[in-house]
């Protein structure tokens, strides 16, 4: 049995849900509320994922964390169409992209999301309560970043620098898509899955310059193609189970 610990709107959880849908793997949901209840910081969850973040999978009692590692695991452990290129060099390219998507894209969208999404979630807490919450986090590097943000906030300059770094990555993707349907060639792969939720997040955060596809037309065509996939639509159909009208 496969259980996914995830949060409905988390980019990294969406990565895994797209992969599960593409591979048509059966799974059971354990929704972890990282917004209101901050369940990711609870001791029971940090026993599963010491970094105190979603997603985590439990496959027949075996835990796997890190969304890019989870999707590789799912692709290798389950039957169905392979989402990994056969050529070793293309596999290396895929892992390079994973690294950029995590180190550059995820890190910088977090900067931009701070004022828009993260702060409103803790608006009701005092500074001391926010500090206490951050200190619950197992990951020391994340704790340091969060404490720094609590102290200094995120400025417009920080946001502009982050947006410029994101734009650089999108330029690279635009160049990669020259003459190809998907990031690694003719076949849809885990690389396409890995970046998809972030493109959607740029749209949701109204980062209009990043999603102005007249500037990056190949990316625009790729994005339309990707959103039309049944796997993408299924993953995005998972909405907030705690919403009043859910």
Ligand X SMILES: N[C@@H](CCC(=O)N[C@@H](CS)C(=O)NCC(=O)O)C(=O)O
**Kindly report the CA angle at 49 between 69 and 200, in degrees rounded to 5?**
55
Per the listing, tokens 């496959």 go with 59
Total number of residues that touch ligand X (CB under 6 A): 13
What does each C-alpha distance from 77 to 54, 70, 154, 189 come to in angstroms? Answer: 21, 10, 41, 16
Show contacts with ligand X in window 13-52 (CB under 6 A). Answer: 34, 40, 52
Q: Is 108 in the site for ligand X (CB under 6 A)?
A: no
User: Does residue 67 belong to the site contacting ligand X (CB under 6 A)?
Assistant: yes
Shortest spacing between CB 33 and ligand X, in angstroms? 10
Distance in Å, CB of 122 to ligand X, minimum? 10
Among 33, 58, 66, 187, binds ligand X (CB under 6 A): 66
Q: Is 134 in the site for ligand X (CB under 6 A)?
A: no
Among 48, 53, 196, 207, binds ligand X (CB under 6 A): 53
Give the torsion sign (CA, 6, 65, 137, 97): negative
Which residue's CB atom is positioned nearest to ligand X?
53
Q: Which stretch binds ligand X (CB under 6 A): 4-12, 158-166, 202-210, 233-241?
A: 4-12
Give min distance, CB of 146 to ligand X, in A: 8
Smallest gap from Cβ 53 to ligand X, in A, equals 3
Rounded Cα–Cα distance for residues 162 and 109 (Å):
7
User: Exactly one of 5, 10, 23, 162 binds ligand X (CB under 6 A); which one?
Assistant: 10
Q: Does 12 bind ligand X (CB under 6 A)?
A: yes
Choices 5-13, 161-169, 205-213, 235-243 (CB under 6 A): range interacting with ligand X: 5-13
54 near ligand X (CB under 6 A): yes
Taking the complex as a whole, the smallest distance from the CB of residue 34 to ligand X amounts, in Å, to 4
Q: Which residues bind ligand X (CB under 6 A)?
A: 10-12, 34, 40, 52-55, 66-68, 102
């Amino acid at each position: 049995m496969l259980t996914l610990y995830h949060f409905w709107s988390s980019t990294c959880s969406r990565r895994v849900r797209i992969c599960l849908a593409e591979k048509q793997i059966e799974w059971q949901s354990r929704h972890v509320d990282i917004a209101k209840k901050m369940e990711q910081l609870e001791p029971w969850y940090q026993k599963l994922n010491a970094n105190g973040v979603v997603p985590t999978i439990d496959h027949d009692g075996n835990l796997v964390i890190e969304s890019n590692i989870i999707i590789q695991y799912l692709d290798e452990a389950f039957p169905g169409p392979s989402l990994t290129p056969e050529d070793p060099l293309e596999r290396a390219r895929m892992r390079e992209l994973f690294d950029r998507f995590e180190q550059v894209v995820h890190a910088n969208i977090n900067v931009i999301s701070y004022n828009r999404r993260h702060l409103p979630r803790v608006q009701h807490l005092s500074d001391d309560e926010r500090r206490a919450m951050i200190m619950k986090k197992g990951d020391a590097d994340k704790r340091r970043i969060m404490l720094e943000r609590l102290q200094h906030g995120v400025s417009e300059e920080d946001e502009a620098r982050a947006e410029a770094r994101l734009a650089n990555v999108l330029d690279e993707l635009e160049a990669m898509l020259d003459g190809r349907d998907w990031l690694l060639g003719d076949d849809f792969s885990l690389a396409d899955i890995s970046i998809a939720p972030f493109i959607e997040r740029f749209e949701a955060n109204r980062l209009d310059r990043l999603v102005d596809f007249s500037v990056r037309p190949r990316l625009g065509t790729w994005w339309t193609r990707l959103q039309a996939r049944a796997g993408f639509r299924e993953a995005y159909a998972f909405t907030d189970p705690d919403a009043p009208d859910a």
